[in-house]
Amino acid sequence: MMERRYNVLADEWVMISAFTQQRPTNPTTSCPLCVGGDEFSRPYDLASFDNRFPSMKVDAPNVESENSLYKKARSNGKCEVVVYTVDHNSAMSLMPIHQIEKLIKMWADRYLELSLQPTMKYIFIFENRGSEVGATLSHPHGQLYAFPFLPKRIEAKVQSLAKYYDEHGRCAICDVVENEVSIRERLVYENESFIALVPFYARWPYEVHVYPKRHVSSLVELNNSERNLLSKVLKVVTMKYDLLFQQSFPYMMMLFQSPVNDIRYEHAFHFHIEFNPVKRDKNKIKWMASVETGTWAFINPKLPEEAAAELRSVEVII
Amino acid sequence: MSISQTIDLENFNDIDMKKIAGYRKEDGFELVVEIEKLHLGFKIKGYLKGYVDEVELFKFKRPDKLLVNNWQSWGPSKVTQKDFQLNFPRELIQKFGFSASIMPELYFDNLLSDYYVASECFFVGCLSSKVAHPYFQIDGDEVSVRLKYFGMNFDEWNETETIVILLDKPEVTLPYYADLVAKENVVNISDKRWVGWSSWYQYFVDFDYEKMCADLENARARGYDVFQIDDAWEVDIGDWTPNNKFPSLEKVAAKIKEYGYIPGIWLAPFSVSETSTLFMKHPDWLVKDGNGNPRVAYENWNKKIYALDTTVPQAVDWLTSLFEHLKDCGFEYFKIDFLFAAAIQGKRFENVTPVQAYIQGLNAIRQAVADSFVLGCGAPLLPSVGYVDGMRIGPDTAPYWDANGPDIGHPNAYYALRNVLTRWHINGIWWWNDPDCLMLRKVDTQLSDAQRELYTLVSLLLDNMIIQSDNLSYEIDDRLWTVVSEYRKYGKRKVLLSGIMSGQYNITSCGVDGCDLLSITDLEKCVFTYSKDSGDIKLEKTIEMQDDGRRFNYYNEND
């Protein structure tokens, strides 16, 4: 069973996939991403591969809607596992800058290659780090979902950024960058091409966003110098996270790029990365509970300006 | 026609849009116009009832500079100033016929733009051409927005093609418009990013099976996907069987396949020459003039060329059989040329507009070849959206660069490349743009090294189709071929072009390896700078398929 079902209550698609139910909660023997594990019989540097337990597949079966109330659609997307390094004990915070740069190139390749398929509408690159956010493997890796539809929150971002552009004639994130660089109190880190900040509108206690200073709609549009600077930002942010409570810090890292096979919003959609960490203190979790899940309204117990100051004060050397 | 409103898009205010909306009764028909807000601007949709030859939806004040666009592949797409005069050579009017315009009766003495216009701060364009032909008549200080219906009678209210007004700079509005059109016409872009070879710009009609075999042999290390034979193989225009220079088409296709290439073939399926057997046997399949005689669509090959009436059921059956046969012979890449012939004005079997007739013909070909690659050429652009995989978007290139030649669609590398730049925005959205062939030979050409390099770089950086046309036994610029191979290693690119209105073009082209910049400060003199963003990291990708069907992509650093 692999299909999409339409929710008439929320105007959204839900992916139904029996495959994902078979996903292991925690490997009992060896790491499948290490050489000699279930997935790799030979050495590698970086790799991406089709998820053994996908919620979407390019050749997903055709489906027919039951009626106009219960609409169905093919789950003809793609789910890939993106392995950052062969080193099991590494992490974004521990990897050399050079390795992160290679990872960025691999992301760019996956984005461009998958966008060549006209059925793809959105390429979502992400990493779940730590069991607190559902990661089942500790080997440094992320994932990639190529959606054949525009997910609800992406649609909200696209529409919101387009609305701002219509009202102001400018990209909203370009304006945020200009403002944050000026006032500085929410900045966590800055280099020539990027800022990392706890945003004014942070939903999570230590939420960090990474914004390129120049308007680009996808990471592909970053030149090599900018890609190098982005790898430094990713390293710094994740190092600061790990040092904040002196523990391997769980987070969801998500890359937001403009939709593919639809360039109507590239001038308004500014590529950005969100880190959504679930910790609100060393031993406390900020749960995505009823209010957040049911209403999409977040209650953030931490003042973003205070979180920014704390993260800013964590010294890192790269 | 005189009661439509004139608005000022350079000093835009919302009230102007309300002036356009509403109900109008004109001579012979009624019109209702609706306005809908859209990101960056407005959608204008009409409803018509009655007998309509032409509708003027509204007018707007002419800006100092306007990007105008011709209706078909070869026609100019360029920026015009207020003092622009067409000055089309009178002696060529008859030869060009409908090639220059779907409305030759208007075109040669007026300034027209088909489908869209753009200025420094606004854009006006039509999202489709399924029934009407959308065009702009630029007259003095005003631009009139019109839909040409060629005398159609609508008994019931009929929805018009949709016009959009977008308020932003061209590097934003042009690609945005292209995407709106793609959505309106339900485009599925082909994932076939083939690199190929064509016989035309080396041999023209002086091509035969022996030469084909020689170039196949010389092409062994080139790594093409497609090998396409061009005009030279057929008995006549309209008689699509091999002449005595070629064996059977099955044998031609099989020979090409022997070398591992996809066989490609050229034909002009809607054209019928006065000397062809088809013309003699089936004058009833041709578009007629007012007296019921076959109408000349254009002149070429030193012959009068007539147009297939694609609304005659037997003609459509013939068309379908022709392409099914070519596909059965082994061809999977079809360059179909002089397509505008199916859209000339005239009497047809069915009472449809020339645009509807054209689409019927194109659809018959699309259905016949199924998922084979279709490259349109000499084609009305907007009605072709959704039916072809690739499209020529400029005049024929040539082994010379003449910035002083007439800008009328004649072969000329300079104007061909100018169109590649000014129509960059539709690439990868309506279809894959064909910039026309690269000529990389160092002999038998008047192109300078710089001209050859610029043509190659623009085609690559804009992520267009890449087809080479050279006698491969000649000395080839292998440095440029290496550049081609490097650019085509990975998937599609993200491209932005600015500077259309100034003629100083800046291309930013981003791929896996980084973002390359090409700045053309003087296209006429071929003055440009190119900056390759190499970076320190070279990743080599290898793909392995697992027994369970899963794909693994390995990335290793190449020192």
Residues of B in contact with A262 (CB under 8 A): 179, 183
Distances (CA, A) of A165 to A159, B88, B401, B480: 10, 43, 42, 41
Question: Which chain A residues touch B175 with a CB distance below 8 Å?
Answer: 263, 266
Residue A103, pLDDT above cutoff 50 = yes
Given phi > 0 = left and psi -120 to 50 = alpha, else beta, which region is B151? left
CATH of the domain at A129: 3.30.428.10
CA distances from A210 to A35, A257, B339, B391 (A): 33, 12, 50, 40
pLDDT, tens digit, 9 for 90 and up, residues A2-44: 999 999 999 999 999 986 666 666 666 789 999 999 999 999 9
Nearest CA in chain A to B432: A116
pLDDT of residue B1: 45
Asked if A108 is an interface residue toward chain B (Cβ–Cβ < 8 A), one would say: yes
Residue pair B308/B272 in contact (Cβ under 8 Å)? The answer is: yes
Contact B515 A267 (CB under 8 A): no
Residue of A nearest to B531 (CA): A223
Q: What is the average pLDDT score of chain B? A: 96
C-alpha Rg value of chain A to the nearest Å: 20
Is A263 an 8 Å CB contact of chain B?
yes
For residue B546, which residues of chain A lie inside 8 Å, CB to CB?
A: 49
- 3 state DSSP class of B28: coil
Determine the distance in angstroms separating the CA of A254 from the nearest CA of chain B, rounded to an integer: 20
Provide the token pair at B244. 């005595």
Residues 6+ apart with CB under 8 A from B289: B295, B346, B347
- Is residue B337 part of the annotated active site? The answer reads yes
Report helix angle A304-313 to A224-244, nearest 10: 100
A38, closest residue in chain B (CA to CA):
B546
What phi and psi values does residue B265 have, to the nearest 5 degrees?
-145, 145
Angle at A236 between CA A318 and CA A197, to 5 degrees: 145
- Are B165 and B42 within 8 A, CB to CB? yes
Q: What is the pLDDT of residue A34?
A: 96
CA–CA distances in Å: residue A86 to residues A143, A250, B97, B104 = 16, 21, 66, 67
Look at chain A and report how many structural domains it folds into.
1
Interface test with A, best of B487, B517, B553, B558 (most A CBs within 10 A): B553
Calculate mean pLDDT across residues A237-248.
97
Closest alpha carbon within chain B to A258: B494
| Chain A residue numbers touching B550 (CB-CB < 8 A) | 49-50, 52
Dist CA A118 CA B298 (whole Å): 37
CA distance A116 to chain B (A): 6
- The H or E element containing residue A293 is helix A290-295
Residue B533 has its nearest CB partner, among A45, A169, A224, at A224
Entry pTM: 0.95
Kindly report each contact of residues A60-63 with a partner whose C-beta sits within 8 Å and lies 24 or more positions away, as own/partner: A60/A2, A60/A3, A61/A2, A61/A3, A63/A3, A63/A4
Strand A279-281 to A272-277 pairing: unpaired
Residue numbers in B near A101 (CB within 8 A): 536-537
Quick check: A115 and B533 CB within 8 A?
A: no
What is the nearest CA distance from A124 to chain B, expressed in angstroms?
17
To the nearest whole Å, the CA of A187 is away from the closest chain B CA by: 28
- Which chain A residue's Cα is nearest to B510? A221
CA distance B70 to chain A (A): 24
Concatenating the DSSP letter of every residue in A132-174 gives GGT----SSEEEEEEESS--HHHHHHHHHHHHHHHHHSS-HHH
Contacts of B183 in chain A (CB under 8 A): 262
Give the strand pairing for B303-307 and B296-300: antiparallel
Contacts of B548 in chain A (CB under 8 A): 52
Has residue A208 been placed in a domain?
Answer: yes
* Interval B205-227: pLDDT, tens: 999 999 999 999 999 988 899 99
Give A-chain residues touching B121 at CB under 8 angstroms.
none
> Across A65-74, A96-105, A134-143, which has the greatest mean pLDDT?
A96-105
pLDDT of residue B15: 87
pLDDT score recorded for residue B559: 67
- Spot the catalytic one: B337, B463, B470, B477: B337
Give the pLDDT confidence of B235-270 residue by residue, as tens digits: 999 999 999 999 999 999 999 999 999 999 999 999
Chain B CB within 8 Å of residue A291 CB: no
* DSSP letters spanning B177-204: HHHHHHHHTT--------EEEESHHHHT
Quick one: tokens of B94? 């008859």
Q: What is the mean pLDDT of each run of 10 residues along chain B (559 residues)?
A: 78 88 94 96 97 96 97 98 91 91 95 98 98 96 97 97 98 98 96 94 97 97 94 98 98 98 98 98 97 96 97 98 98 98 98 98 98 98 98 98 95 98 97 98 97 98 97 96 89 93 98 96 98 92 95 91
Cα–chain-centroid distance for residue B44? Answer: 25
Nearest to A108 among B40, B512, B536 (CB): B512
Residues of B in contact with A221 (CB under 8 A): 494, 508, 510, 515
Which helix (H) or strand (E) segment holds residue A80: the answer is strand A78-83
Using the 8-state DSSP alphabet, how is residue B91 labeled?
G
Do B138 and B61 touch, CB atoms closer than 8 A? no
The whole-number pLDDT of residue B495 equals 97
Q: Find chain B residues with C-beta within 8 A of A44's C-beta.
A: 554, 556
Which of B163, B159, B161, B160 is closest to B125 using CA atoms?
A: B163
| Nearest alpha-carbon partner for B425 in B165, B34, B67 | B67
- Interface size A-B, in CB pairs within 8 Å, comes to 122
Q: Do B537 and A102 make contact, defined as CB atoms within 8 angstroms?
A: yes
Domain that holds residue A52: 2-313
Q: Please tell me the distance from the alpha carbon of residue B114 to that of residue B420, in angstroms, as a whole number.
A: 17
CA dist B317 to B308, B310, B321, B356, Å? 12, 10, 6, 17
Chain B residues with CB within 8 Å of chain A CB: 39-40, 168, 172, 175-176, 178-180, 183, 187-189, 191, 193, 429, 490-494, 508, 510-515, 533-537, 539, 541, 546, 548, 550-557
**ipTM score here?**
0.95
What residues of chain A, 50 to 69, have a C-beta less than 8 Å from chain B? 50, 52
Does the distance separating the beta carbons of B176 and A118 come in below 8 Å?
no
Given the residues B114, B225, B236, B396, the one annotated as active site: B396
Which residue numbers of A are catalytic?
Answer: 141
**Rounded Cα gap, residues B325 and A28, in angstroms:** 60
Q: How far is A102 from chain B (nearest CA, A)?
A: 7
Is there a contact between A51 and A113 (Cβ–Cβ < 8 Å)?
no
**Single-letter amino acid code for the residue at A250:** P
Distances in Å between the alpha carbon of B349 and those of B236, B292, B308, B356, B394?
25, 11, 11, 12, 32
d(CA B498, CA B510): 15
For residue A314, with 0-12 CB atoms within 10 Å meaning exposed, 13-18 middle and 19 or more buried, which class applies?
A: middle
**Widest pairwise Cα distance in chain A:** 59
In a domain, A318, yes or no: no
What is the predicted pLDDT for the residue at A171? 98
Question: A224 and B512: CB-CB below 8 Å?
Answer: no
Chain B residues lying within 8 Å of A264, measured CB to CB: 39, 176, 179-180
Distance CA A275, CA A133 (A): 12
**Beta-carbon neighbour count of residue A19 at 10 Å?**
16
Query: In this structure, is residue A135 part of a structural domain?
Result: yes
Is A264 within 8 Å of B511 when comparing Cβ atoms?
A: no
* B515, B550, B554 member nearest A223 (Cβ): B515
pLDDT of residue B362: 98
What are the residues whose beta carbons fall under 8 Å from the beta carbon of A29, sequence distance 6 or more? Answer: none
- Give the other-Cβ count within 10 Å of A283's Cβ: 8
Phi (first) and psi of residue B158, to 5 degrees: -125, 130
CATH 3.30.390.50 fits B195-269+313-344+352-492, yes or no: no
Q: How far is CA A169 from CA A200, B15, B39, B169, B540, in A?
A: 22, 19, 11, 11, 41
Residue ranges per domain, chain B? 6-184, 195-269+313-344+352-492
> Which chain A residue's Cα is nearest to B183?
A262
CB of A116 less than 8 A from some CB of B: yes
Q: What distance in Å separates the CA atoms of residue B339 and residue B271, rounded to the nearest whole number?
A: 8
Q: Is A261's Cβ below 8 Å from some Cβ in B?
A: yes
Handedness of CA A296, A297, A302, A305 (dihedral sign): positive
